[in-house]
Amino acid sequence: MSSMLPKVVVTRRLPGISGARLAGKVTVAAPPPDAPMPPEELLRLAPGTSGILCTLADRIDRPLMDAAGPSLKVVSNYAVGVNNVDVAEATRRGIRVCNTPDVLTQATADLGFALMLAAARKFSEAETALRAGEFTGWDPWGFLGVPVYGGTLGIVGLGKIGAAVAVRAKGFGMRILYHNRRPLPADRERILSVEYRGLDELLAESDFVILCVPLTPETRGLIGRERLARMKRTAVLVNIARGEVVDEGALADALAERGIFAAGLDVYEKEPVVHPGLLAAPSAVLLPHVGSATAETRERMGRLAAENLLAVLSGTEPFSPVN
Ligand code: NAP
């Protein structure tokens, strides 16, 4: 009977997506690999598939949709950002695209706040020195950072994750500015204790700038040389959004020239490649895209991604559709 079940491709072995969850409902085309699926392999498996459950490392574009053909009904992304999926093309073809919002919000906001603290207080530089045997005792001049408590935080992209960052910042006595394309309703601003600013004003006023926008044609390269120059020399830039939102070459230069104080990065323009100028910058705290990396969050992402896929294939409305 299993040949009657819709065929799906799961591009990687993922927490929360067990064979048992899918068993009896779909046929998985091939055992999900333990590394990113090579694009040629995804293309090879695509023909006749009804669903693709993928990660942000998979490019779900027009050639892949062509290869899959009219059987393809759903692309379920194991991420909230869908910049790896051509959503407009999927919509034209009647393919539902789903993502995993909400379940990763708190974990990602925790990580963003951790990066703010770590960059402000030179965690990486200090720990690297200690591990190199350079800790020779308390030093009144060593690793002097900038204060987080009471500083001004600028949140670029005050959506679900941005709002969760704001809640944490309130506990740190911070003044909170934000920039979205449109201001939030006044009561929402009041609840979150946030003030709207144009992007350039936000950059000039903030001691910390945290990027929480989705990657779109509008936000690609949003923080380039000119905008970095608007930031205070004592300011810290944190990127937990997507690497392409920042011009990494310009950021590496700004750090080298002490145009800004420090940066905390979880995401990169050409993952897994990290710009050599960032690797060389002691004032950059660099993490390998671990925003949502808690066991509980990854499990919940998997469950949601699987439920979205199964919902569309059974003809019901998915839990978190993008289109
Ligand atoms: P969300 O709720 O949709 O929030 C996105 C916010 O960005 C919205 O407030 C939106 O407001 C604003 N925005 C969109 N385009 C903008 C633009 N051109 N200029 C200024 N603001 C803009 O999404 P979320 O759940 O918070 O997630 C945000 C992003 O975080 C995801 O798309 C993903 O790329 C990234 N992320 C990264 C990790 C990680 O591992 N590091 C984990 C999870 C998510 P307006 O529409 O009013 O402009």
**Helix 295-313, helix 105-120: angle, nearest 10:** 140
In which residue ranges of the chain is CATH 3.40.50.720 found?
Answer: 2-103+296-313, 105-286
Query: Do residues 297 and 271 make contact, with C-beta atoms less than 8 angstroms apart?
Result: no
Q: What value does the mean pLDDT of the chain take?
A: 97
The topology (CATH level 3) of 105-286 is Rossmann fold (3.40.50)
Q: If you measure from the C-alpha of residue 82 to the centroid of ligand 1, how many angstroms do you get, rounded to a whole number?
A: 10
Q: If you measure from the C-alpha of residue 307 to the centroid of ligand 1, how many angstroms do you get, rounded to a whole number?
A: 23
Indicate if ligand 1 lies below 6 Å from the C-beta of 77.
no
Task: Convert the pLDDT of each residue in 155-205 to its tens digit.
Answer: 999 999 999 999 999 999 999 999 999 999 999 999 999 999 999 999 999
| Residue range 2-103+296-313, CATH number | 3.40.50.720
Q: What is the dihedral of CA 74, 78, 80, 83, to 10 degrees?
A: -70
Cβ partners under 8 Å of residue 44, min gap 6: none
pLDDT (0 to 100) of residue 18: 83
Query: Is 242 one of the catalytic residues?
Result: yes
pLDDT of 20 above 90: no
pLDDT of 1 above 50: no
pLDDT of 7 above 70: yes
Indicate if ligand 1 lies below 6 Å from the C-beta of 214.
yes
pLDDT of 290 above 90: yes
Question: Which numbered atom of ligand 1 lies nearest the CA of 219?
Answer: 18
Residue labelled with tokens 């145009």 = 259
Average pLDDT over residues 288-307: 98
pLDDT (0 to 100) of residue 9: 98
Distances (CA, A) of 302 to 8, 13, 90, 279, 293: 15, 10, 22, 32, 12
pLDDT (0 to 100) of residue 277: 98
Write down the catalytic residue from 127, 271, 299, 307. 271
Question: Which numbered atom of ligand 1 lies nearest the CA of 213?
Answer: 7
What is the band of 3 on the pLDDT scale with cuts at 50, 70, 90?
low
Query: Is 230 one of the catalytic residues?
Result: no
Task: Convert the pLDDT of each residue in 116-149 to its tens digit.
Answer: 999 999 999 999 999 999 999 999 999 999 999 9
Indicate if ligand 1 lies below 6 Å from the C-beta of 265.
no
Query: Is 125 one of the catalytic residues?
Result: no
Task: Convert the pLDDT of each residue in 240-264 to its tens digit.
Answer: 999 999 999 999 999 999 999 999 9
What does residue 250 show for φ and ψ, rounded to 5 degrees?
-65, -40
